[in-house]
Amino acid sequence: MKKLMIAASCALALAAGTAHAQDRNLRIAFDVPYEPFEYKDDNGELTGFEVELADAMCEEMQANCEFVIQAWDGMIPGLLARKFDLIMSSMSITAERAERVLFSEPYYNTPGGWFGPNDFNTDVTDMDAMKGKTIGVQRGTTMDTFVTENMGGIVTIKRYTTADDMVLDLEGQRLDAVFVDYPVGEQTVLTKDGFKEVGEPVKLGEGVGVAMRKRDKDLANEVNAALRTLKNDGTYDTIMQKYFNYDIKM
Amino acid sequence: MPDFIVEWLDRNDIFTAMTLMEYWDGLVTTVHLVFLSLIIGLAVAVPLAILRTVKNPLISGPIWVYTYLFRGTPLLIQLYIIYYGVAQIPGIQETFWWEIFREPLYPALLAFTLNTAAYTTEIIRGAIVSTPHGEIEAAKAYGMNWLLRMRRIILPSAARRAVQAYSNEVIFMLHASAIASVVTIVDLTGAARNIYSRFYAPFDAFIFVALCYMVLTFILVFAFRKLENHLLRHQRPVSS
């Protein structure tokens, strides 16, 4: 009898859950600043490509969304600790991450870009020439993995928590070059005098997806459906063209 | 390595021989950094503490300002100012100073040394000014001049009173050195952060590193207890 009661109350709670889907609350985490994906504008408002896409997605899913700011280091642990429900912070889909979180279908892909001062003339794919150079990457990114696996032991790798600190050290000539997500480098390095792109962009990984807890399979289906609608009805392209002059759609 | 450790490592995703090597390199960096800054800091602090007790405000004043500034601001901010601030000085890259400040190790060493020297100065100064008056009078009665008095009476007596407070400072310094990882130094904490971001396993990566710090702390506590027993031998009750 008792078991039945519990089962019944559970069923009731579940039914109530679906009935109130409209005013369901979702918390989405971003790591700022990561221009132009998520950053604060001059008024201190959170904005950017992913923030606007998240807004459109929430509208499509008819959910109330709250945006949470979370440093990159604590993203996945924060998700698992239920501090938020979704990560839409340019998280590239990797096998290692997929063991801990559930990814949606990819919603964009940007290459990793090489940036350095104007007098940097070394071919970044020539390992002999790169020997002894100091390269900056953001800790735990796919760019970090790429440099660690392909150039570890050849170049000195410096890992940074934020892109800001890394660019500061590039400006201060502590780094010969940085290998960073292309749009980020474009916004933070190329906007400064005396810096240029120093190598061909490298396509890395399977693109960027929304990360969720593994058990939230229903949520993932909803997210995928919403993203597909946005990609097809032109909303995605409108937002993308606002921030990029090249194609990142995936 | 014993077989059972090898076997355990084989079945473990995170604590492979490679990551343990990273932790080891981090441990070496941490010990290196903390040890050097403590030694230099102590060497700087002793003369500063003596001068800080001098009555002339032109001598003790600037030292007071220095200890006040460095004890009044967080070490993290001091490290940021020295590491990132110095690189922003126009033209610094062309001077020989850049050879020193280019690598993160020296800015961190400088920040840690200045910080610990400020605290140690105040610890030793406190011990000097609390020297019992009788000891000084007795020394004067023997005709000792200021230098001899300082060397034979005041400093040894002050060292006994300062050692307990100083052992705390040493342990705080070890723990404070964890912030070296924000300026790209791969110390113990830096190694833990790299491993954590590779495996997304905060518990494993950080609990292991916490244990490393704990072992280091225990070694320090043990060493200081030995030193205290040695210095404060005369205070021990006479055993029956």
CB contact under 8 A, A144 and B200: no
Domain match, A104 and A216 both: yes
Asked, for residue A30, whether it belongs to a domain, the answer is: yes
**Domain contains A10:** no
In angstroms, what separates the C-alpha of A212 from chain B's closest C-alpha? 15
* A175 contacts A181 by C-beta, under 8 angstroms: no
User: Is A136 a member of any domain?
Assistant: yes
Q: Where residue B5 falls among pLDDT bands split at 50, 70, 90?
A: confident
Average pLDDT over residues B18-38: 93
Amino acid in the structure at residue A14: L
Confidence label for A8 from pLDDT (cuts 50, 70 and 90): low
Q: Are residues A149 and A221 in the same domain?
A: no
Q: Is residue A236 part of a domain?
A: yes
Are A174 and B182 in contact (CB < 8 Å)? no
**From the CA of B174, how many Å to the nearest CA of chain A?**
22
Q: Which of B93, B194, B202 sits opposite A139 (nearest CB)?
A: B194
* Percent of chain A with pLDDT strictly greater than 90: 53
Q: Which of A145, A165, A173 sits opposite B93 (nearest CB)?
A: A173
Q: Average pLDDT over chain B, rounded to whole?
A: 91
User: Distance from B1 to chain A by nearest Cα, in Å?
Assistant: 25
Shared domain for A187 and A238, answered yes or no, is no
**A116 and A196, same structural domain?**
yes
Whether A212 and A141 share a structural domain = no
Same domain membership, residue A34 and residue A49: yes
A237 touches chain B (CB under 8 A): no
Q: Give chain B's domains with CATH numbers.
A: 3-52+59-231 (1.10.3720.10)
Q: Does B197 contact A139 at a Cβ distance shorter than 8 Å?
A: yes
Task: Work out whether the CA dihedral B230, B233, B236, B240 comes out positive or negative.
Answer: positive
pLDDT at B13: 72
* CB contact A164 to B (< 8 Å): no
Query: Under an 8 Å CB criterion, which residues of B touch A?
Result: 84, 87-88, 93, 98, 102, 104, 182, 184, 193-194, 196-200, 202
pLDDT value for A16: 45
**Residue A174 and residue A238 in one domain:** no
Q: Is residue A101 helix, strand or coil?
A: coil
Q: How many CB atoms sit inside 10 A of residue B115's CB?
A: 23
Residue A80, C-beta contacts closer than 8 angstroms, at least 6 positions apart: A100, A101, A213
| Residue-level pLDDT at B50 | 94
Average pLDDT, integer, range B46-71: 94
pLDDT at A15: 47
Share of chain A above pLDDT 70, in %: 90
Q: Give this complex's ipTM.
A: 0.75
Assigned domain for A31 exists: yes
Q: Are residues A141 and A181 in the same domain?
A: yes
More confident residue, B61 or A16: B61
Q: Is residue A153 part of a domain?
A: yes
- Do A121 and A140 sit in the same domain of this protein? yes
**Closest residue of chain B to A162, computed from CA coordinates:** B182
Q: What are phi and psi of B11, to 5 degrees?
A: -90, 5
Q: Assess whether A99 and A143 both reside in one domain.
A: no
Residues A73/B198, Cβ–Cβ less than 8 Å: no
**CB-CB under 8 Å, A73 with B200:** no
Number of domains in chain A: 2
Mapped onto helix, strand or coil, the DSSP state of residue B204 is helix
- Chain B nearest C-alpha distance from A185 (Å): 19
- pLDDT of A149-170, one tens digit each? 899 889 999 999 888 889 999 9
Who has greater pLDDT, A239 or B9? A239
SS3 B210: helix
In this prediction, residue B8 carries a pLDDT of: 67
Q: Is residue A233 part of a domain?
A: yes
Q: Is the model more confident about A223 or about A183?
A: A223
**Span A101-117, pLDDT tens digits:** 999 999 998 888 999 99
Residues of B in contact with A97 (CB under 8 A): 200
A159, A160, A174 member nearest B87 (Cβ): A174
How far is A225 from chain B, CA to nearest CA, in Å? 28
What is the b/e burial string over A120-152, where b = at least 16 CB atoms within 10 angstroms of the residue's CB?
bebebeeeeebeebbbbbbbbbbbbbbbeeebe
How far is A211 from B160, CA to CA, in rounded Å?
Answer: 59
Could you tell me where the DSSP H helices lie in A20-155? Answer: 49-61, 75-80, 95-100, 127-130, 142-151
Mean pLDDT, rounded, for B51-71: 94
Buried b or exposed e, range A2-30, using 16+ CB within 10 angstroms: eeeeeeeeeeeeeeeeeeeeeebebbbbb
> Could you tell me the residue range of the domain that residue A177 belongs to?
112-202
Selecting from B104, B194, B202 the residue whose C-beta is nearest the C-beta of A77 gives: B202
**Chain A: closest CA distance from residue B195 (Å):** 9
A15 inside domain? no
Over residues A230-245, mean pLDDT: 90
Tokens, residue A234: 């032109």
Q: Are residues A118 and A194 in the same domain?
A: yes
Selection from B155, B173, B158, B171 nearest residue B224 by Cα:
B171
The secondary structure of residue B93, as a DSSP letter, is: G
- CATH number, domain at A193? 3.40.190.10
Lowest mean pLDDT among A37-41, A202-206, B3-7: B3-7
Q: What is the pLDDT of residues B211-239, one digit of tens each?
A: 999 999 999 999 999 999 888 888 778 77
Say what the pLDDT of residue A17 is: 44
A189 and A116 co-located in one domain: yes
Residue of A nearest to B103 (CA): A174
